[in-house]
Amino acid sequence: MTVSQQTEQQTALPIRNEALPLKLSGFATLCDALDYAAQGETGYTFFNLRGDVAATLSYSALRERALALAAKLAGRFERGDRLAVIAETSPEFIVTFFACQYAGLIPAPMPMPVNLGGKDGYINQIRQMIAGAKAAAAIGPETLREFLDEAADKAGGAAVYSFVGLDALDGDGAEPQRFGPDDYCYIQYSSGSTSAPKGVIGMQRSVCANLTAIARHGMGLQPGDRATSWLPLYHDMGLIGFVLTPMTAQVPVDFLATSDFVRRPLLWLRIMTDLKTTITYSPSFGYDLAAKRSGRAEPGAIDLSTLRVAGIGGDMVRPEALNAFADAFGPVGFNRNAFTPSYGMAEATLAISFPELGAPVTVDEVDMRHYTRSGVAQPASALTSPENTRGFVLCGRALEGHEIIVRNENGELCDERHVGRIFIKGPSLTPGYFSDADATNAMYDGEWLDTGDMGYFLNGQIVITGRAKDLIIINGRNIWPQDIEWAVEKVAGVRGGGVAAFSVDDGRGERIVVVAERRGMDAEALAALKREIASVVQNAVGAPAEIVLARPHSMVMTSSGKLSRAKVKQKYQSGAFTEDAGEEEEPRPLAEARV
């Protein structure tokens, strides 16, 4: 009998523990946190595409099953071995993850395939992660056994198990040895990892420090809170934010699989309505997608009046998406002051900064023409044209015990509104990348971690402007690809979220390339669309660009749903984009599909 069958019920788990006092801190390891949470009645509830409860896993049942599996794993693997685990949204993955904690084994979560097709790309992706973690085994659902077998074989022959197959292991009476505060917790592979994926090391002490900071100071968790998430559990925002943080705070969580959210975005809102959710999180595009489907909601089916934290993270915060969501769902109780734009990254476990809860989102309208020339985020004025105005969202202050600074290219601290490179320090930071000393050394400057992000301070809050590595430099001017992408997305005929801007240098100097997914149209319409996009880019950043109109669904996305600019660039350079096929001729690839 599988975990999901053992725990399946028809109703969601309780919203609060009647007899167990709320405890948000004092845990040295994940096992310590689960030992405490297991004394209550709360836990995880899993919903299917129909919106029915498919399974439940209380924290008590999770501990019991994790301990039983830990004994079996301890009899098969050496303490400290890495296990690469497919992070499906299921009780099986979560039980396996925590069994590793109790057995002293290091889980390395791997992504689920996004959709059918693209088998080779997916196998190559997980092969790299299995090899990078030097995993002793690869584990996942039986439906992906064929993929795991091939990936593990190509990675050097790691053992392969299905979740169900783990139950057949014989522990031979082995005594599992749980992790201590100074031991590993997991290896997190970034969703943006490409040909040489870097595994972020999560230590028990640093992970617990971030979980405590998020629960106490970031979201101010309290009795009666309930969380809902569709985020992939392979990604740090899904795993740390909605598997580990709520458990540490004994808060119940309701899960919807990422693929089901994509098919039915309003189901996310319906679950929150039915269970009176107070906490959720999403990248900007999730709110945008729900807003676009708002017209399909049945009258009276959605009520978001209990939602007090609607977090935004995982990518650049887009004010337009937030406004669209607030406008669409304000009439059914959504309070736009629930929006909580935060900043984080896997190298800091998850969260780095949070704004004041319940405060209005602050958008800084910047004159981009001045910004690109001077590196100073000067406020837009009445004389600034709309195409040269861009709104940046303030993402709060550093979590308690952590610090954020912004440095210029000379390593000096930047003044307010001066854009520079963002550095952080604090107890949540990773000690480095697994088995990659060079990358670890490059990341740290003394005790400060170089985030690779660019931004500036305004009124004590950090503002993120983009990734340093994505910066386009044309004739000495700094151009952010997001500025181009967001402008092009507004052009009729371009698919929303389907635009990538980057630079290439073929020996004649750096030039801009814009790849845009277009809708099905004839040759004359395509030519007109190209001209319009070229004009929009010229107006937006004052530079010409090569325009490539790609077939629908041909962009490359990460498993967390973000556009992979680097992979789109690789695809462009390999000559993979074509413009002569109709919309119906291009299947949606598996590992490259949009979340």
Residue 585 pLDDT exceeds 80: no
What secondary structure letter does DSSP report for 22? Answer: P
Phi-psi region of 338 (alpha: psi -120 to 50; beta: other; left: phi over 0): alpha
Calpha distance 127→481 (Å, rounded): 30
Calpha distance 554→537 (Å, rounded): 21
- Taking the CB of residue 492, how many other CB atoms lie within 10 A of it? 7
pTM over cut 0.95: no
Looking at residue 240, its amino acid is: I
- Average pLDDT, integer, range 395-412: 96
Whole-number pLDDT of residue 70: 97
Q: What is the largest CA-CA distance in the chain?
A: 77
CB 590 within 8 A of CB 119: yes
**CA torsion angle 379 384 387 393 (round to 10):** 20
Alpha helices in 104-162 (DSSP H): 119-132, 145-154
Tell which wins on pLDDT, 484 or 66: 66
Residue 8 pLDDT exceeds 70: no
What secondary structure letter does DSSP report for 244? Answer: I
CB 181 within 8 A of CB 31: no
Whole-number pLDDT of residue 162: 97
Exposed, middle or buried, 196 (CB in 10 Å: 0-12/13-18/19+)? exposed
Q: What percent of the chain has pLDDT over 90?
A: 68
Helices vs. strands in the chain: H and E counts, helices first: 19, 28
Calpha distance 219→242 (Å, rounded): 12
Exposed, middle or buried, 143 (CB in 10 Å: 0-12/13-18/19+)? exposed
**CA torsion angle 444 447 452 453 (round to 10):** 180
HSE at residue 135, side-chain half, CA atoms within 13 A, is 35
Whole-number pLDDT of residue 578: 64
Calpha distance 422→420 (Å, rounded): 6
Q: What tens digit of pLDDT does each residue of 345-371 get?
A: 999 999 999 999 999 999 999 998 888
Whole-number pLDDT of residue 363: 96
For the range 380-388, what are the long-range contacts, defined as Cβ-Cβ under 8 Å and sequence gap of 24 or more?
A: 387/487, 387/539, 387/540
What secondary structure letter does DSSP report for 595? Answer: -
Q: Crossing angle for the helix pair 145-154 and 119-132, nearest 10 degrees? A: 50
- What is the pLDDT of the chain when averaged over all its residues? 89
Residue 588 pLDDT exceeds 50: no
CA 334 to chain CA mean position, Å: 23
CB 68 within 8 A of CB 44: no
Residue 372 pLDDT exceeds 90: no
Strand partners, 341: 312
DSSP 154-211: HTT--EEEEHHHHTT---TT-------TTSEEEEEE-TT--SS--EEEEEHHHHHHHH
Phi, psi of 449 (to 5 degrees): -95, 125
Whole-number pLDDT of residue 582: 40
- 55 three-state secondary structure: strand
- 276 three-state secondary structure: coil
User: In terms of Cα–Cα distance, which of 365, 447, 366, 442 is closest to 405?
Assistant: 447
Q: Which domains does the chain have, with CATH numbers?
A: 3-263 (3.40.50.12780), 472-585 (3.30.300.30)
Q: What percent of the chain has pLDDT over 70?
A: 91
What secondary structure letter does DSSP report for 347? Answer: G
- 261 three-state secondary structure: helix
